[in-house]
Copies of this chain bind each other. A is one copy, B any other.
Amino acid sequence: MSNAHPMVELWRGNLLESNHFGHAVICDAKGIVEAWGDPSTVIFPRSSCKMIQALPLVETGAADAAGLTEAHLALACASHQGEHRHVDMTGRWLESLGLDEADLRCGTHEPYDHAERDRLIKSDTSPCQLHNNCSGKHSGFLTVTRHLNAGPEYVAIDHPLQIAIKAATEEVTGEASPGHGIDGCSAPNFATTVTGLARAMASFAAAKDTGSVRCRAMYRLTRAMATYPELVAGEGRACTELMRAMGGRVAIKTGAEGVFVAILPEQGLGMALKIVDGGGRAAEAAIAALLIRAGVLEANHPATLKRLNAVQTNRRGLETGILQAAPDFP
């Protein structure tokens, strides 16, 4: 990955301490508008492609048949932090399907949200699968699975749902997937190029509430994410705070190992980036830089300044340095 582009720098005092390289692509409906690094780099989108993984939920009619709201669709695209509201909403969703937490196949981890984490610790309660940051996605998966009357092992690579997701992925990225990996939540994650992922986001950006089933599904999912930023991640998190800062005009989504995507409907643009070392702080800074450049995010908004041109402070609140974009990015 020596063809990656310098994107983000961490300075301590007046010396460069660490830096991050990456690949980034901006597409419109016609193709690549601008790129940094190698746009043909194959990546795992990880959680950044949850809106693609949610396409069968809408397109099969499962979402409407189950009476899901726009908020449910946002949660289906979420990497939430296990706040009480996320856990509660997911639990009720499963209940409405006649299912429960044990039907999930995402596994368990401690919630990122400290209030919920502390509540569990104080009550000697173990976290459950509802706390998994992917439990909304998996509830969407179960909704489709029940609608299709398919088997319960919905994360198996040959399950009808995953076959549908692979097809949708290849259609919206415009590429055959070169392979898949198993994600943290056990779902298959289909590899694509940075360009493929940006192209997919451009398709979401171009989608209207008319036209094909695919178009309308993309439109609904984009609107759901942008309308319910607090369900897509949670308080304090980059997706939530930056989407709020952009006032519902743009949908963005992070993925593990340094991936970030953005859907800009008004500009008809899709963005995708991958930090080669997997650094989340750099992915957040880099997507903020691209969103500022596109004119949809204020450089001086507090949500921006937590991630880009971010003054670093230590355990006593002393300033130690700054996290900023590399000189020629973007």
A residues with CB within 8 A of B: 1-2, 6, 10, 12-15, 17-21, 42-44, 105-109, 118, 121-122, 132, 178-186, 189, 191, 257-258, 275-279, 282, 314-321
Q: Decide if the interface of chain A is mainly helix, strand, loop or mixed.
A: loop
Which chain B residue shows the least CB distance to A9?
B1
Q: Which of chain B's residues have a CB closer than 8 A to the CB of A276?
A: 18-19
Q: Which of B1, B12, B105, B316 contacts A186 (CB 8 A)?
A: B316
Contact across chains for A15 and B315 when beta carbons are under 8 A apart: no
Q: Which of B1, B18, B181 contacts A19 (CB 8 A)?
A: B1
Q: A106-B315, A315-B132 are in contact. Are A17 and B257 (CB under 8 A)?
A: yes
Q: A279-B277, A282-B277 are in contact. Are A13 and B182 (CB under 8 A)?
A: yes
Q: Which of B13, B106, B122 contacts A181 (CB 8 A)?
A: B13
Compute how far the CA of A276 lies from the CA of B181 in the bound complex, rounded to whole angstroms: 27
Q: A186-B316, A279-B278, A315-B184 are in contact. Are A44 and B19 (CB under 8 A)?
A: no
Compute how far the CA of A278 lies from the CA of B275 in the bound complex, rounded to whole angstroms: 13
Contact across chains for A17 and B181 when beta carbons are under 8 A apart: yes
Contact across chains for B18 and A321 when beta carbons are under 8 A apart: no
Contact across chains for B278 and A10 when beta carbons are under 8 A apart: yes
Compute how far the CA of A21 lies from the CA of B186 in the bound complex, rounded to whole angstroms: 29
Q: Which of B109, B189, B258, B318 contacts A182 (CB 8 A)?
A: B318
Which chain B residue shows the least CB distance to A105?
B316
With both chains docked as a complex, state the minimum distance between the C-beta of A179 and any C-beta of chain B, in angstroms: 5
Q: Which of B179, B181, B316, B321 contacts A320 (CB 8 A)?
A: B181
Q: Which of B121, B122, B182 contacts A314 (CB 8 A)?
A: B182
Q: Which of chain B's residues have a CB closer than 8 A to the CB of A122?
A: 121-122
Which chain B residue shows the least CB distance to A274?
B18
Compute how far the CA of A250 lies from the CA of B1 in the bound complex, rounded to whole angstroms: 34
With both chains docked as a complex, state the minimum distance between the C-beta of A48 and any C-beta of chain B, in angstroms: 13
Compute how far the CA of A266 lies from the CA of B185 in the bound complex, rounded to whole angstroms: 46
Q: Which of chain B's residues have a CB closer than 8 A to the CB of A319?
A: 182
Most buried by B among A6, A17, A20, A181: A17
With both chains docked as a complex, state the minimum distance between the C-beta of A150 and any C-beta of chain B, in angstroms: 20
With A12-B44, A109-B315, A184-B320 given, name 19 new contacts (CB 8 A).
A1-B19, A2-B2, A10-B278, A13-B179, A14-B179, A15-B179, A15-B181, A17-B44, A18-B257, A18-B276, A20-B277, A21-B277, A106-B316, A121-B122, A181-B320, A181-B321, A182-B314, A185-B314, A277-B279
Contact across chains for A43 and B19 when beta carbons are under 8 A apart: no
Which chain B residue shows the least CB distance to A132?
B315
Compute how far the CA of A71 lies from the CA of B180 in the bound complex, rounded to whole angstroms: 49
Which chain B residue shows the least CB distance to A314?
B184
11 contacts between A and B (CB under 8 A): A12-B44, A12-B189, A15-B42, A15-B178, A15-B191, A18-B278, A21-B277, A109-B315, A122-B122, A185-B314, A278-B279
With both chains docked as a complex, state the minimum distance between the C-beta of A62 and any C-beta of chain B, in angstroms: 24
Q: A107-B316, A315-B107, A315-B185 are in contact. Are A277 and B121 (CB under 8 A)?
A: no
